[in-house]
Each structure stands twice: as structure tokens, then as C-alpha cells.
């Protein structure tokens, strides 16, 4: 399948043969006054790209790395996009005070959250990061590297290996500025296992108390191909997905659970879309 851009589906700069400006380097995104509407407008060209499935995204990611773009670099851009979206969500929801709680799973989805946490902390925000799962470090190599990078920053890192630990960690979550859901990406179906299950349930409860929820790539867990949700599943206010829109987030159930979807560039070249 050929997923080449249509003429209006990339950024104007990319369309003219000029390298696109990615989130970590984009001066427009440094504006503290940026809200969700302005951010959506800024990334609108990416939302107009042809949607792709989870399998197609995995393939594009793998081909980008074979073209010399490292997984660490892609994760840095994804996390930078999440950090910008978190700031915009806090501004839009008038949640400038309070702790940003970043819930991270052991894989690359969690790694994106860890990059966002680092960037938000470097900007002076109060950030608490929770690694949810049995391992004391993320299992994905790039995610583990970003876990270690937090050690030199004023970020409170916590480990929640059991459902009981999750309940202790999330006591008082209703006072958080926002919750960033970076628990799991696509590829999970059916009932969730502990401690992720309890973490999702408590995140849903936080959302019911008007705490804004920002999901990374997909709400935990909405399948990015079919839109089928896990049990339980997070209902996000905003979802930041990457490179292209996802088929699953455009289904009826996917749209309901993802909230406002932003499509951010992360540096995957058009050549990597070709199969």
C-alpha cells in the first residue's frame, strides 16, 4: 500500500521541499499562551493526511529507523509534542496550578510520557512520574534511557508495581492539574491486567471529577486500527497521536474515547510510508 502524502497532507514547508519543523525545534510551540485551538491549527496539515492503521504505523516507524532516524530521536519528538499539548490543555482548561501526573507503562508509549515529563519539568512545572508495572525500570531501551535522564531534574519518580501501590499513588488525584496517560499503546485487547487495570479505573474516576486527561498516541487502550476499547478504557479529553491520523481514532467509539485528537509530526519521512 502506498501512503504517500497528498498535496495538502503535509506541512507547507515540506511541500516545498524544505525540511519540516518538528516539535522539539519549533519556535511557535514555545509560546506559553498557546492553547488547544491554536495548536490544532498549527498542526492542521498533519490531521489532513491519509489515516493509517496501527500495523502501518509500526512499519513506518521501523522503516524510518532503517533510514537512519533513531528510535530515541523519534521518541524525543513525540514527547516534545506531548509536552506542548499538556501546556495547551492546562491553559485551555485553566489548570495552571497543581501537579502534572504522568502515568507511564513499561514500553515506548511510556517513554513518550517520560520525555514529556522531562521537558515540562525543565520549564518549571511540578511533575510526578509513575512507572506502573512490576519492573523497576521501563523494559523498552529508549524508554529506560529517558527514565534515567529524569534523575538530574526536580521530577518525583515513583514506582507502582501493584494495584495497592497505584491506589496509594493516586490518592488525591482530583487535585492534579492534568493527568497524562502514557500507559499502553495499541496491540492490547480485552481485559487489562493489574496494576494497569486499577490505574485506568482511577484515571477514569479522576476524569469524572473534571481533571483533564491527555492520552499519548491512543487512550489506554483504544485499538488504533479498529477503535475497539479494552476493559476498562480511558476516556481522554485530548489525544496526541503521531505522524498521521489513525483509523481507530476515527471510528465512532474511537472518537468518543479519544476526545480532541491532535496529529503531531515526529520526523518520519515520507519514504518510510512506502510499503
- Residues 28-85: tens digit of each pLDDT: 999 989 999 999 999 999 999 999 999 999 999 999 999 999 999 999 999 999 999 9
- 71-92 helix and 108-122 helix, angle to the nearest 10 degrees: 60
- Under CATH, which architecture does the 36-267 domain have? 3-Layer(aba) Sandwich (3.40)
Mean local confidence (pLDDT), 146-156: 95
Residue 154, SS3 per DSSP: coil
Contacts of residue 258, defined as CB under 8 A and 6 or more positions apart, other chains included, come to 215, 218, 219, 222, 236, 239, 249
Confidence of residue 4 (pLDDT cuts 50, 70, 90): very low
Determine the average pLDDT of the residues in 77-94: 97
pLDDT tens string 220-246: 999 999 999 999 999 999 999 999 999
CA distances to 48, 117, 140, 269 from 246, in Å: 11, 24, 23, 17
On the question of a cis peptide bond just before residue 232, with omega within 30 degrees of 0, the verdict is yes
Question: Domain residues of the chain, as ranges?
Answer: 36-267
Q: What percent of the chain has pLDDT over 90?
A: 86
Amino acid at each position: 500500500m502506498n501512503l504517500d502524502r497528498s498535496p495538502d497532507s503535509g506541512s507547507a514547508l515540506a511541500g516545498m521541499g524544505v525540511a519540516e519543523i518538528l516539535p522539539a525545534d519549533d519556535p511557535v510551540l514555545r509560546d506559553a499562551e498557546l492553547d488547544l485551538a491554536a495548536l490544532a491549527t498549527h498542526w492542521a496539515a498533519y490531521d489532513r493526511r491519509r489515516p493509517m492503521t496501527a500495523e502501518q504505523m509500526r512499519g513506518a516507524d521501523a522503516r524510518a529507523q532503517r533510514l537512519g532516524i533513531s528510535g530515541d530521536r523519534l521518541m524525543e519528538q513525540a514527547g516534545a509534542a506531548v509536552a506542548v499539548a499538556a501546556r495547551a490543555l492546562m491553559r485551555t482548561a485553566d489548570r495552571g496550578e497543581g501537579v502534572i501526573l504522568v502515568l507511564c507503562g513499561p514500553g515506548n508509549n511510556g517513554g513518550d510520557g517520560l520525555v514529556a515529563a522531562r521537558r515540562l519539568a525543565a520549564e518549571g512545572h511540578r511533575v510526578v512520574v509513575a512507572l506502573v508495572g512490576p519492573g523497576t525500570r521501563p523494559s523498552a531501551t529508549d524508554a529506560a534511557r529517558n527514565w534515567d535522564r529524569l534523575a538530574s531534574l526536580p521530577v518525583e519518580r515513583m514506582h507502582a508495581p501493584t494495584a495497592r501501590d497505584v491506589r496509594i499513588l493516586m490518592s488525591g488525584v482530583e487535585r492534579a492539574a492534568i493527568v497524562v496517560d502514557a500507559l499502553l499503546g495499541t496491540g492490547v485487547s480485552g481485559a487489562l491486567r493489574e496494576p494497569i487495570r486499577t490505574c485506568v479505573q482511577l484515571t477514569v474516576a479522576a476524569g469524572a471529577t473534571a481533571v483533564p486527561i491527555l492520552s499519548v498516541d491512543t487512550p489506554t487502550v483504544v485499538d488504533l486500527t479498529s477503535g475497539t476499547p479494552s476493559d476498562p478504557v480511558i476516556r481522554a479529553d485530548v489525544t496526541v497521536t503521531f505522524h498521521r491520523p489513525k483509523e481507530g481514532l476515527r471510528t465512532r467509539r474511537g472518537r468518543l474515547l479519544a476526545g480532541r485528537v491532535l496529529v503531531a509530526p515526529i520526523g518520519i519521512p515520507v519514504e518510510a510510508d512506502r510499503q
